[in-house]
Chains A and B, each alone.
Chain A
Amino acid sequence: MTQYLDFEKPLAEIEGKAEELRAIARASEEEMDVSQEAEALDKKASALLADLYKSLTPWRKCQVARHPDRPHCKDYISALFTEYTPLAGDRNFADDHAVMGGLARFEDRPVVVIGHEKGDDTKSRIERNFGMARPEGYRKAIRLMDLADRFGLPVIALVDTPGAYPGKGAEERGQSEAIARSTEKCLQLRVPMVSLIIGEGGSGGAVAFATANRVAMLEHSIYSVISPEGCASILWKDSEKMREAAEALRLTAQDLQKLGVIDRIVPEPLGGAHRNRTATLDAARDAIGKLLDELVDQPPEDLMANRRRKFLDMGRGGLAA
């Protein structure tokens, strides 16, 4: 059962009708041929879907990027990697379930994978804290990146977080310091690092995992300094102005590629990643493989120096870049 977004309501109606028609036909005693009508409705629905997704507004992209059925970090890990061996804990305070990570093989090559996991039902969402990491999550990631660096393993990071968790304990244990150190660690790695933003790239909590040699984004994912709602409530003094804020922030993959902030856009199936998980995961595998291939032959010192150079040069040209 698909969960429809508000702008998909007309689509929900048509698909609902087609479904209803088929249900009636199945339930009726006599032979009833509804296939023609149902197919006509299906056709209408797919035309409408194509139309809706042809040019999503930035705010609609935010909604798609946050869709509860969108494939999450653990789906990518189980589809794209083999021998995934989760490693837990920051050796300091706790194990943060909002951050997954460990050793794994990507196309037979041993790597370290880290990522934010949002969870996909009430129980797992609470356990994962909706993908909002605490300092221990970043410190676990730092530890894993350090491990990757020492054993010459590439780092693959999957970014999907509304932001770092704004809680009392998180602040007490140094949320800022943990994020700053994670970004710093990314910049110290002498191994290839590829980041893929699969849903939401929320502010500093995302940067801590996305300061990579190559940064890619799924077609309908977002990456922003602040949520559109947060921006609207500060600059418009009205959190209902999130559509305008989403527009102004330039948080879509397409705008970020123009700004030179990301390197590659990974295409999503028609109607968004959640409508065809297999196709999404295949496209992600392909993109990560290609980006990694660009890096594996670079000498360790160059990998670090080039990564630093990339960020130092970033934004020099604005939208014209």
Chain B
Amino acid sequence: MNWITNYVRPRINSIFSRRETPDNLWTKCESCGTMLFHRELSDNLNVCTNCNHHMAITPRERFHALFDGGIFTEVAVPQPVADPLHFRDQKKYPDRLRTAQKDTGETEAMLVASGEIGRTPIIAAGQDFSFMGGSMGMYVGNAIIAAAEEAVKLHRPLILFSAAGGARMQEGILSLMQMPRTTVAVQMLKEAGLPYIVVLTHPTTGGVTASYAMLGDVHIAEPNALICFAGPRVIEQTIREKLPEGFQRAEYLLDHGMLDRVTPRTEMRDELITITRMMMGLPPAVKGELPAPELDAQDGAAPGGNEEPKT
């Protein structure tokens, strides 16, 4: 009996059970085809219990599992000008945005949070692939800048989970300008002497890889994640030959010196705690059961981070 089983787990379960509707109690693994019970799957962080295939996970779900007791505070992100180019393809950009907001329940493709992991204060930023392919536009740029500023202000490391198809075409050149903008954010951290750890998840491609995702102090990837600048299809069309199995996957990048580690999602939290504590010069994390933290010490954070974001 401890505070996690008494207090946190029911909370987490209630959050997940609220989301589940009776008709999707089972998920079929895209890789091995095993039918997985939703609770079992979410307990295992959306990793197939049969074949270890890593399925997509939203930043909110990830943060619930990452932060101590699932407790975090959202960091406010300044809203950019909506539809800066008045972009219209077959659909209007604001319509695409609204659809994505309705489908995901999120405002945009990145969530920034502050909290503790293994009693280590951190700032985390998570990119949401389910929101327009996680694409990097003004909002994502603002989110990374806000995350870096918060990290510098509170003197905490930044852990960023990347997942994106690349730049958001509907913001044209302004999406491209997020490459230098986010690079400035990374420089703020480096100059403040704070660790910047990038966890590259499936998929991380295009302008995202070619800016903040490849500028970390430590690069960790989830198994089999696609990580590249140009996608495999574009390359096959250019060089007119079939690419080898596993090309541009996490293990391939590890072999080619672009990553420090490939770590399963279920072991990621412990690894991040170990690494950040060493980089911040803190003593080793206490293993085993911990007494419940005092909620007051958490900047008034509420469980689940559903409280109004701090400004």
Chains A and B belong together in one complex:
yes
Instruction: Give chain A's interface residues, CB within 8 Å of chain B.
Output: 164-168, 170-177, 179-181, 183-184, 186-188, 203-204, 207-208, 211, 223-226, 231, 234-236, 244-245, 248-251, 256, 259, 261, 308, 311-312, 314-320
Measured between beta carbons, the chain A residues less than 8 angstroms from B88 are 248
**Alpha-carbon distance A167/B234, docked complex (angstroms):** 9
Q: Which residues of A contact B177 (CB under 8 A)?
A: 207, 261, 311, 314-315
CB of A312 within 8 A of CB of B181, answer yes
Question: For window 245-263 of chain B, which residues contact chain A by CB distance below 8 Å?
Answer: 247-248, 256-258
Of A164, A183, A187, A259, the residue contacting B229 (CB under 8 A) is A164
| Closest chain B residue, CB of each to CB of A237 | B90
Q: List 9 A-B pairs, Cβ < 8 Å.
A: A170-B229, A174-B257, A179-B229, A180-B209, A183-B183, A204-B176, A224-B172, A225-B176, A312-B181
The 8 Å CB contact of A311, one of B181, B207, B229, B243, is B181
Contacts of B145 in A (CB 8 A): 312
Give the nearest-CB partner of A169 in chain B: B239
Which chain A residues lie closer than 8 Å to B3 at the CB level? none
- The distance from the CB of B108 to the nearest CB of chain A, in whole angstroms, is 15
- Contact flag A168-B181 (CB < 8 Å), given A180-B215, A225-B172, A226-B169: no
Chain A residues within an 8 Å CB radius of B186: 184
Q: What is the CB-to-nearest-CB distance from A138 to chain B, in angstroms, rounded to a whole number?
A: 10
Contact B174–A176 (Cβ < 8 Å): no
Min Cβ gap B183→A in Å is 5
A226 to B206, CA, bound (A): 10
Q: B295 an interface residue at 8 Å Cβ cutoff?
A: no
From residue B182, how far is it (CB to closest CB) to chain A in Å? 9
Closest to B165 in A: A234
Q: Does the CB pair B81–A312 fall under 8 Å?
A: no
How far apart are the CA atoms of A316 and B142 in the complex, in Å? 10
Shortest Cβ distance from residue A62 to the other chain B in the assembled complex, whole angstroms: 14
Within 8 Å CB of B176, what residues of A? 203-204, 207, 224-225
Inter-subunit contact B181/A177 (CB<8 Å): no
- Residue pair A225, B229 in contact (C-beta under 8 Å): no
What chain B residues lie within 8 Å of A207 (beta carbons)?
A: 176-177, 179-180
Q: Does B230 sit at the interface, judged by CB under 8 A?
A: yes
Q: How far is the CA of A312 from the CA of B172 in the complex (A)?
A: 17
What sequence of 0s and 1s flags, for each residue 235-278 of chain B, a beta carbon within 8 Å of any chain A beta carbon?
A: 10011000100011000000011100000000000000000000
Knowing A231-B169, A250-B85, say if A236 contacts B183 (CB, 8 Å).
Answer: no
**Band of interface residues on B:** 35 or more
Report the separation of the CA atoms of residues A174 and B213 in the bound assembly, to the nearest whole angstrom.
12
* CB <8 Å contact, B248 and A171: yes
A175 touches B229 (CB 8 A): yes
Q: How far is the CA of A184 from the CA of B188 in the complex (A)?
A: 12
Q: Any chain A CB within 8 A of the CB of B18?
A: no
Complex partner residue of A225 from B80, B173, B211, B238, CB under 8 angstroms: B173
A166-B235, A179-B229, A318-B84 given as contacts; is B90 within 8 A of A204 (CB)?
Answer: no
Q: What total of A-B pairs shows CB separation below 8 Å?
A: 171
- Whether A204 contacts B89 by the Cβ 8 Å rule is no
Residue in A closest to B237 when the chains form the complex, CB atoms: A166
Kindly identify which residue among A174, A223, A244 contacts B173, using a CB–CB cutoff of 8 Å. Answer: A223
Cβ of B187: which chain A residues have Cβ within 8 Å of it?
184, 187-188, 308
Across the interface, A250 reaches (CB within 8 A) one of B80, B172, B181, B247, namely B172
Q: Across the interface, do A249 and B214 meet the contact criterion of CB distance under 8 Å?
A: no
Q: Which of B141, B169, B180, B258 contacts A187 (CB 8 A)?
A: B180
Residues of A within 8 A of B80 (CB): 315-316
Cross-chain contact A179 with B210 (CB below 8 angstroms):
yes
The complex places the Cα of A148 from the Cα of B85 at a distance, in Å, of 36
**Contact pattern, B 83-115, Cβ under 8 Å of A = 1, otherwise 0:** 111111110000000000000000000000000
Max count, chain A CB within 10 A of own CB: residue among B85, B229, B235: B229
Q: Is the CB of B183 within 8 A of A204?
A: no
Give A179 to B229 CA distance when docked, in angstroms: 9
Chain A nearest CB, measured from B253 CB (Å)? 9
Closest-by-CB residue of B relative to A235 is B89
Given contacts A173-B256, A235-B89, contact A224 B173 (CB under 8 A): yes
Interface centre among B169, B234, B258, by most chain A C-beta atoms within 10 angstroms, is B169
Give the chain A neighbours of B138 by CB distance below 8 A: 315
Query: Which single residue of chain A is at the shortest CB-CB distance from B204?
Result: A176
Structural contact, A225 and B175, CB atoms closer than 8 A: yes
A-facing residues in B173-228 (Cβ within 8 Å): 173-177, 179-181, 183-184, 186-187, 206-207, 209-215, 227-228
**Which of A164, A176, A248, A312 lies in contact with B85, CB distance below 8 A?**
A248
Residues of chain B contacted by A167 (CB below 8 angstroms): 230, 235, 238-239
Which residues between 112 and 168 of chain B lie within 8 Å of chain A, taking CB atoms? 138, 141, 145, 167
- Residue of chain B at shortest CB distance from A238: B90
Neighbour of A319 across the interface among B84, B175, B183, B184, CB < 8 A: B84
Given contacts A164-B230, A203-B176, 18 further A-B contacts (CB under 8 A): A167-B230, A167-B238, A174-B214, A174-B256, A179-B229, A180-B210, A180-B212, A184-B183, A186-B180, A187-B184, A204-B206, A204-B229, A248-B85, A249-B173, A250-B173, A251-B172, A259-B173, A312-B181
In the assembled complex, the Cα of A223 lies from the Cα of B177 at a distance in Å of: 11
Selected from B86, B90, B141, B173, the residue in CB contact (under 8 A) with A256 is: B173
Chain A residue contacts of B211, Cβ below 8 A: 179-180, 183, 204
Q: What CA separation (Å) do A164 and B166 show in the bound complex?
A: 14
User: Which of A225, A226, A248, A312 has most B Cβ within 10 Å?
Assistant: A225
User: Assuming the A-B contacts A180-B210, A180-B215, A184-B215, are A249 and B229 also in contact, with contact meaning beta carbons closer than 8 angstroms in the complex?
Assistant: no
**Distance to closest chain A CB from B66 (angstroms):** 25
With A174-B258, A187-B183 known to touch, is A317 a contact of B87 (CB < 8 Å)? no
Find out whether the CB atom of B229 lies under 8 angstroms from the CB atom of A166: yes
